[in-house]
Structure 1
């Protein structure tokens, strides 16, 4: 879904998640940033984002 309201909901969710993991000491990386931007834009579902994140940690580059 790409409505402005849906994009805003996803943007806020990503901002909160990133703030949470930064407080835990995680250093945000560019690959995760790209995946999150695709999710916010509606190009990935939450499930697809989750899968990309899992893949990122299983196969760090």
Structure 2
């Protein structure tokens, strides 16, 4: 399944729900960002070095 997922959501309840579903799906690494600028920096950093995200929820 997915190895690394970026969740960029500014509504806390949705952010928590998506995180809970991903945990049940046994996703290896989940990164959360509330704001688009943080999400962009995480995606850019990930792409340049430690492996890209498998999927991003924006």
Is this a same-fold pair by TM over 0.5? no
**Rg larger in structure:** 1
Per chain length, whose mean CA-contact separation is higher, i.e. which structure has more relative contact order (CA < 8 Å, sep 6+)? Answer: 2
Give the TM-score normalised by structure 2: 0.39
Write 1 or 2 for the structure with the bigger share of strand. 2
Write 1 or 2 for the structure with the bigger share of helix. 1
Give the TM-score normalised by structure 1: 0.38
